[in-house]
Structure 1
Amino acid sequence: MKDRVALMLAALWWGSLTTIGFLVVPMLFARLGNPSVAGNFAAQLFEAQSWIALLCGLVLLIHFRAKADDGMTPPVLTALFLVLAAMLLALLQQYAVAPRIVARENLKLWHSVGSGMYLVQWLCTSVLLWRMSGGQRPR
């Protein structure tokens, strides 16, 4: 039962990253016509996404830490690393990068950094979800 809940949380995290970052935000900029308005909405969506990431990550850390108590197998260590890396990226995006983007401080640089961090967070959750749902399950 606990493994299924953890799998659903990993899927929620990955799905929210995918939906917001690759569907909703690009549609905002394409449809609203005003980049400032779209940017403000996007900032709010990314803030909500950060809270989803932190909540899902925290519960997954607890889940994998409990599994680690039974033995630190390589799949469990990998899962812990992926969760921690993705959570750190979410925190850095929200509290280090996003304020600079909102302040329009060197916008091109900080937007590129934030996009790269978002992509790496998405990759971490993709690998985590793939491993949890497939052949290399953390035991």
Structure 2
Amino acid sequence: MKLFRIVHPLNGVQRLLLTVWVGAMWAIGYVAAPVLFAAIESRMQAGAIAGTLFSIVSWIGLLCGGLILLVQWRARHRGLSRVALSCIIAMLIITGVGQFGLQPMMADIKAQFPAGVEMSGELRSRFGALHGISSTLFLIASMLGALAVWRSAPTDL
């Protein structure tokens, strides 16, 4: 039985980057956002703050995911299982779709209403549909992140 094993330092870097990304997703998506909506009376104000936090998490994800792929390339595809790497690639795609596809469409709809005025009619329905898609994609990405963290753990503990 080995008490210590030699691990390439880049393996730890990859796991740390993944943990930062997934931890940010879970902290904002499942702790901060619900607290905002519970604590702030104005749903529009809570939504605006939550939207900013989700955008920050997206940028963290794009940065961490990109760095993970760079480390994978540099380490000649060692350090992460295929499952973990597949999850990370899927998470990057989902994050990109959300940040560069869905979020700009949602921002365009919000921009059509003056501050403090609630949305109504077709635009409210369209915003709700986009928000639902965005929320579902976030849920999928956060579950993929949990699986990636799980599958990136050292196997000989």
Query: What is the TM-score of this pair, normalised by structure 1?
Result: 0.85
Please tell me the residue identity of whatever aligns with 2:86.
Answer: F
Matched, 1:129 2:149: yes
Gaps of 5+ in 2: 1-8, 111-122
Alignment root-mean-square deviation, CA: 2.1
Aligned to 1:115: 135
> Does the CA contact (< 8 Å) of 1:64 and 1:79 recur in 2?
no
Select the residue among 85, 89, 95 that pairs with 1:84: 89
Identity %: 25
Deviations 1:57-79 (A, max 9, x none): 01111122234457xxxx64333
Which of the two has higher C-alpha Rg? Answer: 2
Shift of residue 109, structure 1, vs aligned partner: 1.1
Question: Which protein is richer in helix relative to its size?
Answer: 1
Q: Which amino acid aligns with 1:46?
A: F
User: For this pair of structures, how many residues does the alignment match?
Assistant: 133
5+ residue gaps, structure 1, are none
Match for 2:65 among 54, 57, 60?
57
Pick one of 90, 95, 104 that aligns with 2:100.
Answer: 95
Residue aligning to 2:27: 19
C-alpha deviations, 1:85-121, integer Å up to 9, x for none? 1011111111211233332541221111011100111
Identify the match of residue 3 of structure 1 among 2, 11, 26: 11
Q: Which residue of 1 aligns with 2:118?
A: none
Give the CA deviation at 1:5: 1.4
Counterparts of 1:37 and 1:92 in 2: how far apart (Å)? 24
Partner of 1:35: 43
